[in-house]
Amino acid sequence: MHHAGAVPLMPIRAEHVFLYPIDWPQLSHHVRFVRAGGRCEHCGRPHGERVFHLGDGRWWDRGRLYWRNGQGRRVRRPTGDILADGAWTPVVLACAHLNHDPSDSALHQLAALCQRCHMIYDGPEHRRRRWMNAHYRRAIGDLFYGPYPERGADWIGPTPLSMLDDNRSLYAKLR
Ligand SMILES: [Zn+2]
């Protein structure tokens, strides 16, 4: 079974599940398919379709018959070898938290975003989560296996500034 509606679009990490409201699937569906009409609310790409794009955000809207950019605005027909420069990509909409806080699911904090816009929007947050996950993994390692060996140690890097002074932290409300 492989139609788009049945695929888990944006898996929720196990440790974040409890932050999501009980009706998250319905909420997510409402945002993506009722409010957004199945199109990315940032760039306009249609969910479940393959679009032809140029890699810099520009894509061909075959419904409207013109090129649009990464903000969804109409742009002039690209020059150059479109077939050589472009590629097809499937579009998958996810329901994103605009303030990066999964415990705040007010409708105005949610947006239907394609994977490209989601990645761009969430970039710093994703980096922070990766850092945190690495941090926890190593901390647990410490707990069970003692301190890191002096040689060949998988030392954790210095704490990124974004971890220190960001009041939007996912965990801020839990402290
Ligand atoms: Zn998009």
pLDDT tens per residue across span 125-148: 777 777 777 767 666 666 665 555
Whether 51 and 110 have beta carbons less than 8 Å apart is answered as no
At 97 the pLDDT is 86
Beta strands in 63-103 (DSSP E): 66-68, 74-75, 87-90, 93-97
The 10 Å CB-count burial string (b at 16+, else e) for 125-144 is beebeebbeeeeeeeeeeee
User: What is the whole-number distance in angstroms between the Cα of residue 75 and the centre of ligand 1?
Assistant: 16
At 78 the pLDDT is 93
Q: List 94's β-bridge partners, or say none.
A: 113
Q: Across residues 78-106, what is the average pLDDT?
A: 87
Q: What percent of the chain has pLDDT over 70?
A: 65
Q: Across residues 72-96, what is the average pLDDT?
A: 92
User: What is the whole-number distance in angstroms between the Cα of residue 136 and the centre of ligand 1?
Assistant: 32
At 171 the pLDDT is 42
User: What is the whole-number distance in angstroms between the Cα of residue 3 and the centre of ligand 1?
Assistant: 20
At 48 the pLDDT is 93
Amino acid at residue number 74: R
Classify the C-alpha dihedral 94-97-98-100 as positive or negative: negative
At 138 the pLDDT is 65
Q: What is the pLDDT of residues 38-54, one digit of tens each?
A: 999 999 999 999 999 99
Of residues 5 and 67, more confidently modeled: 67
Give the total residue count for the chain.
175
User: What is the whole-number distance in angstroms between the Cα of residue 110 and the centre of ligand 1?
Assistant: 14
Q: Across residues 87-114, what is the average pLDDT?
A: 88
User: What is the whole-number distance in angstroms between the Cα of residue 113 and the centre of ligand 1?
Assistant: 5
At 89 the pLDDT is 93
User: What is the whole-number distance in angstroms between the Cα of residue 117 and the centre of ligand 1?
Assistant: 4
User: What is the whole-number distance in angstroms between the Cα of residue 9 and the centre of ligand 1?
Assistant: 14
